Amino acid sequence: MPSATVHAGEGDTENFGPLYNHTETACGHHLTMEATLRQIVAFGGGGFSMESGNPLLDDYVLKLTGAARPKVCFMPSASGDADHYIVRFYRAFPAERCEASHISLFRREQGPADLREHLLSQDLIYVGGGSVVSLLGVWRAHGIDLILREAWERGVVLCGLSAGSLCWFAEAVSGFHGAPQRVEGLGLLPFSNCVHYDEGSSRRRAYHDFLCAGMRSGYAAEDGAALHFTGTELSRVVASRPNARGYRLDVVGDRVVEMRIATAYLGGDRSVAPLMPLPEAMATEVAA
Amino acid sequence: MITRLLALGGHEFASRPSDRAVCELLLRLATTRAEGRPRICILPTAGGDTSEQTSRFYAAFSERPCEPSDLSLFRLGRRPMALREHLLSQDLIYVDGGSLVNLLAVWEAHELGEILGEAWRQGIVLAGQSAGAMCWFEAGITKSSGRPEPGDGLGLLSGSLCVHYNNEPERRAAYLDAVGNGMPSGYGLDDYAGLLWEGSGPPSALTARRGARAYRVTAGDSGVIESPLPARFLPAPAPAALREDIAEFRRVRRMRQGAGWLG
């Protein structure tokens, strides 16, 4: 088993390297760009699904749209369109903050009849967590995969956490159940991806193994960290928690090289609310 | 090995007499195969694995002589399960309704179709209602995208099926159209009507509600022919509370007879 080399990165300092140093202007910079800028923000975990009371990542993606009252569509497909998840989305995205909607692919008789028209009219499409394997299956069955690519090319900001992060990449490590699996995603971003990338997790070990076995290079993010891609380039890593980080992983020779990427913490206050489990895990359990 | 499959036009796991009759039939089918307590597993995939579906199922079966379980593909993160082992150890696999398109897409992603085919060939009873009934056929009429339209199934059984037949006239109309335009012939099932295949012969029709019928729907030279099938009526069992009263009454009667009080 080849061992991994981990570079410490820049730690907590404000030096984010030449690519990342423009912390103040980075966000505003995107606002002034043309509307056809393709943007994806892939959360390792976090946002309203996991960080009740910490809106930093959700605020970040709303601001990226550049709209005063952005149109946001939530896609809870990976959770089987769980009702409680949809309710939590609407609570976190109230009318004064944005114009919120959702698409339930399990209840098509309700909601917008023309999925393409609805999705292409959004400023932000927000994909929830759950099973990425089921998510991709359902999306392909309804042609959502093609619509999302079109939306991305037209400048609709795409974001999501967990399964909603993995789906945008060419390859992904799914740790949803049992041993981590290697899954093919939509491929908008030509990399691999691993979420909830925490020290000593089985996902982390599995990701390194997959990379050694030929998985393409890619990015990982811890809970609270988000990878912001412009086009297919990583433009910055932001975080809702002071210590959350993103990582770049490459295979050099027969070794995995894991590099911690300098991350911009989005909050001023360094004391943040604790992470909550993913919504899927919060579903009412029935006695089995 | 006899293969068994029960297709139901529509029902709920509720306490109405016709719903209890359907539960009783499922339990009886599972029991004919089981050596001990029958194992019954629900697959609520088509509805997105809602907790409402699973809790109604458990409410219907947890007090009965069987071992109910659920395989919720969207909830595996919380409760990992060996899919193949679990399914192949069942006596009856019940598929609940919802979106036929999503059901098949999620099953395909998890490679469940092959496992279910294997279960059926091993004699495990397959059953289901609505999308969970149409999924076993070559084709059905689904409202997965809003309007009723043809959709593919797994094709374990040849032909097609349309559920909620007279309960949703627009679905029946879409079915008659589709069969007229080349969809394989098949069956229409009202809510509370069912078809039971045992072995390779034609199915027997069942009904748990007066007036609920099963139809054979075939394309003929002069249009689509719809012929109602003679159906056996499924009587509703007594509700749980009454069952206990009856058991108590019988116990008392046996005691009295044993004691010779009744002569």
Answer whether B236 touches A (CB < 8 Å): no
| Calpha distance B197→A210 (Å, rounded) | 46
Contact of A79 with chain B, judged by CB distance below 8 Å, is answered with yes
Instruction: Tell if the CB–CB gap between B73 and A131 is shorter than 8 Å.
Output: yes
What pLDDT shows up at residue B35?
84
A187-237 pLDDT, tens digit per residue, is: 999 999 999 998 888 899 999 999 999 999 999 999 999 999 999 999 999
pLDDT level of residue A11 (50, 70, 90 thresholds): very low
Provide the pLDDT for residue A29: 47
pLDDT of residue A21: 41
Facing A134 at nearest CB: one of B62, B68, B74: B74
Q: Is B83's Cβ below 8 Å from some Cβ in A?
A: no
Q: Is the minimum CB–CB distance between A285 and chain B shorter than 8 Å?
A: yes
User: Using a CB-CB distance cutoff of 8 angstroms, which residues of chain B are in contact with residue A113?
Assistant: 146
**pLDDT > 90 fraction of chain B, expressed in percent and rounded:** 82
**Within a domain: A222:** yes
Q: Write the class of the CATH domain B4-236.
A: alpha beta
Binned at pLDDT 50, 70 and 90, residue A269 comes out as low
Give the least confident one: A125-139, B148-162, B247-261: B247-261
- Contact: B48, A80; criterion CB under 8 Å: yes
pLDDT for residue A22 is more than 60: no
Is residue B193's pLDDT more than 90? yes
Q: Which positions ≥6 away from B121 have C-beta within 8 Å?
A: B1, B3
Higher pLDDT, A235 or A16: A235
Least confident of A23-27, A181-185, B13-17, B183-187: A23-27
Q: Is A81 within 8 Å of B81 when comparing Cβ atoms? A: no
The answer to whether position A277 is within a domain reads no
pLDDT value of position B260:
61
Residue B190: which of B130, B109, B102, B112 has the closest Cα? B130
Which DSSP string do the residues of chain B spell out, in sequence order?
A: ---EEEEES---SSSSHHHHHHHHHHHHHHHHH-SSS-EEEEE-GGGT--HHHHHHHHHHHTTSSSEEEE--GGGTTTS---HHHHHHT-SEEEE--S-HHHHHHHHHHTTHHHHHHHHHHTT-EEEEETHHHHTTSSEEEE-TTSS-EEEE---SSSSEEE-STTTSHHHHHHHHHHHHTTPPPEEEE-TTEEEEEETTSPPEEEESSTT--EEEEEEETTEEEEEEPPEEE-PPPPPHHHHHHHHHHHHHHHHHHHHTTT-
Number of domains in chain A: 1
pLDDT at B15 over 70: yes
Q: Which of A114, A105, A76 is nearest to B105 (CA)?
A: A105
Domain ranges of chain B: 4-236
Tell whether ipTM is more than 0.90.
no
Residue A147 lies in a domain: yes
pLDDT, average across residues B144-154: 95
pLDDT score of A13? 40
C-beta separation of B231 from B205 below 8 A: yes
Q: Do B76 and A105 touch (CB under 8 A)?
A: no
Residues whose CB falls within 8 Å of the CB of residue B93, separated by 6 or more in sequence, listed in order: B40, B41, B43, B87, B116, B119, B124, B125, B126, B127
- Looking at residue A12, its pLDDT comes to 41
Does the pLDDT at position A1 exceed 50? no
Q: Which of A45-59, B83-97, B105-119, B243-257 has the lowest mean pLDDT?
A: B243-257
- Dihedral of CA atoms A198, A200, A206, A211 in degrees, nearest 10, equals 80
Cβ of B101 within 8 Å of Cβ of A141? The answer is: yes
pLDDT at A151: 98
Model pLDDT, residue B107? 97
Q: Looking at residue B92, what is its pLDDT?
A: 98
Reply yes or no on whether the pLDDT at B177 is more than 90.
yes
Across the interface, whether the CB atoms of A131 and B146 are under 8 A apart is answered no
Tell me how close the Cα of A38 comes to any Cα of chain B, in angstroms: 28
Contact A245, A4 (CB under 8 A): no
Q: Is A108 on the interface with B (CB under 8 A)?
A: yes
Closest B-chain CA to A79: B74
pLDDT at A31 over 60: no
pLDDT of res. B1: 83
Res A7 pLDDT > 80 = no
Chain A nearest-CA distance from B86, in A, is 13
pLDDT of residue B90: 98
Q: Across the interface, do B58 and A134 touch by the CB < 8 Å criterion?
A: no
**Contact check, Cβ <8 Å, B98/A285:** no
The answer on pLDDT for A250 being more than 60 is: yes
pLDDT at res. B245: 79
Average pLDDT over residues B118-144: 97
| Interval A111-135: pLDDT, tens | 898 999 999 999 999 999 999 999 9
Residue A77 has pLDDT above 80, yes or no: yes
Average pLDDT score over residue span A157-168: 98
Q: What is residue A271's predicted lDDT score, i.e. its pLDDT?
A: 61
Residue B130: active-site member: yes
Chain A nearest-CA residue for B79: A177
- A25 has a pLDDT exceeding 50: no
- For chain B, the average pLDDT equals 93
* Chain B residues with beta carbon closer than 8 angstroms to that of A112: none
The predicted structure's pLDDT at residue A273: 64
> Which pLDDT does position A3 carry in this prediction?
47
Catalytic residue among A49, A101, A131, A162: A162
Q: Is residue A288 part of a domain?
A: no
Q: Which residues of B touch A108 (CB under 8 A)?
A: 99, 143-146
Query: Where residue B237 falls among pLDDT bands split at 50, 70, 90?
Result: confident
The pLDDT, as a whole number, for residue B257 is 75
Taking the Cβ of residue B50 and every Cβ of chain A, the question of whether any pair is shorter than 8 Å is answered with yes
pLDDT band at B244 (very low <50, low <70, confident <90, very high): confident
B58 Cβ under 8 Å from any chain A Cβ: yes
In this prediction, residue A277 carries a pLDDT of 64
Distance from CA of A164 to the nearest CA of B (A): 14
Tens-place pLDDT, residues B32-70: 988 889 999 999 999 999 999 999 999 999 989 999 999
What CATH number is attached to the domain comprising A105?
A: 3.40.50.880
Q: What confidence score (pLDDT) does residue A270 get?
A: 62
Q: For residues A61 and B201, what is the distance between their CA atoms, to the nearest angstrom?
A: 60
Q: Determine the pLDDT at residue A216.
A: 97
Q: Does A179 touch chain B (CB under 8 A)?
A: no
Percent of chain A with pLDDT over 70: 81
- Judge: B109–A137 Cβ closer than 8 Å, yes or no: yes
A240 CB within 8 Å of a chain B CB: no
Q: pLDDT at position B29, please?
A: 97
Nearest-by-CA chain A residue for B102:
A138
Considering B11, B18, B144, B164, which one is annotated as catalytic? B164
Task: Please tell me the distance in Å from A256's CA to the nearest CA on chain B.
Answer: 28
Q: Is residue A275 part of a domain?
A: no
Predicted local confidence at residue A26, as pLDDT:
45
Please report whether residue A279 resides in a domain.
no
Average of per-residue pLDDT values in chain A: 86
Task: Please give the interface size between A and B, counted as residue pairs whose CB atoms are below 8 Å apart.
Answer: 98
Instruction: Give the chain A residue nearest B78 (alpha carbons).
Output: A281
Cross-chain Cβ contact B99/A105 below 8 Å: yes
Full domain range(s) for residue A14: 5-266
What is the pLDDT confidence band of residue A36, given thresholds at 50, 70 and 90?
A: confident
CA gap A81, A179 in Å, rounded: 24
Compare CB distances from B51 to A107, A130, A284 and report the shortest one's residue: A284
Contacts of B143 in chain A (CB under 8 A): 108-109
